[in-house]
Amino acid sequence: MKKSDWRVKFSILLILSSVLLYSFHYFIFRDAHTIFIYLVGELAFIPIEVLLVSLVIDRVIKEREKESLIEKLNLIIGVYFNEVGTNILKYCTSIDPKVDEIANLLIVEATWEEKDFKKALEKCKNYNYEIEFCKIDLEKMNEFLLSKRGFLLRLLENPNLLEHETFTHLLTAVFHLEDELSSRNLSELRDDENEHLELDIKRAYRASVSQWVMYMKHLKNTFPYLFVTAMSNNPFDKRTKEEIEKHIKVKYYSK
């Protein structure tokens, strides 16, 4: 209520100041005709002024704010992959019997352009994700996700994540998987529970791959030095880390 009273008083003060200044002008020059010419001209410009401020300038400001927010969110996504995401991807690719169908398209190189990332993303979205559930060490997976529970909770507490729908979907899928694993007796699972957990793992796997491709694209365009590190940790590249780093060194640093 006090804030509202302040605005009303300030508005009245501005109006009175305007009346006072116009009166002062008339008192000196005795020229009401000129006063009304400028008054009407200024009133006529108000709609254009509103258009410029509300539609043009405001939009530019919002676009810049959105770009800044996305930049901060990509930093958070980077931390997520360093802490959790890359490990999940490496594990899922190790139990995916058909991973070679997409692996070759996901060996990201420094020469990649927009069309290459688009092609990889399209392939990931259309890929039929499968896993050999019998090979999964559920206890080990549960232990890993439980160790990262606090980290995941802190990410979910960030209100800005609502602006990044795909990453929010990924976090939700991973968090749901962690809940399902921790709430069951993993040594005595029924068939329907196994099927449910298999679907949950596939959901997290699918969401992780698509987000990883978009994250790699962001790194290449924004942080080349981090992109080189990410290439050496590519979960789809079955070469050893030493072989990958040697390939990167020969291909990109020997020129």
Q: What DSSP character marks residue 184?
A: S
Condensed to tens digits (0 to 9), the pLDDT of residues 87-122 reads 999 999 999 999 988 888 898 888 888 999 999 999
Give the integer Cα–Cα distance in Å for 235 and 24: 76
Condensed to tens digits (0 to 9), the pLDDT of residues 78-95 reads 889 999 999 999 999 999
Phi/psi of residue 186, each to 5°? Answer: -70, -15
Single-letter code of the amino acid located at 125: K
Domain boundaries, the chain: 2-59, 66-252
**DSSP string over 19-35:** HHHHHHHHHHH--HHHH
Residue 239's pLDDT is 77
Contact 180, 198 (CB under 8 A): no
The reported pTM is: 0.72
Contact 92, 131 (CB under 8 A): yes
Contact 235, 90 (CB under 8 A): yes
pLDDT at residue 194 is higher than 80? yes
pLDDT-based confidence at 206, cuts 50/70/90? very high
Of the given ranges (48-57, 140-149, 168-177), which has the lowest mean pLDDT? 48-57
Give me the torsion for CA of 179, 184, 186, 191, rounded to 10°.
-110
Condensed to tens digits (0 to 9), the pLDDT of residues 36-69 reads 777 777 777 677 777 666 766 667 666 676 666 6
Contact 118, 216 (CB under 8 A): no
Q: What is the mean pLDDT of residues 219-224?
A: 86
Q: What is the mean pLDDT of residues 7-25?
A: 81
Residue 227's pLDDT is 87
pLDDT-based confidence at 242, cuts 50/70/90? confident
Contact 218, 70 (CB under 8 A): no
As to burial, measured by CB atoms within 10 angstroms (0-12 exposed, 13-18 middle, 19+ buried), residue 78 is middle
Residue identified by tokens 């996700």 is: 145
Contact 212, 222 (CB under 8 A): no
Sequence-distant (6+) residues with CB within 8 A of 67 are none
Q: From the CA atom positions of the chain, what is the Rg in Å?
A: 29
pLDDT higher at 250 or 205: 205
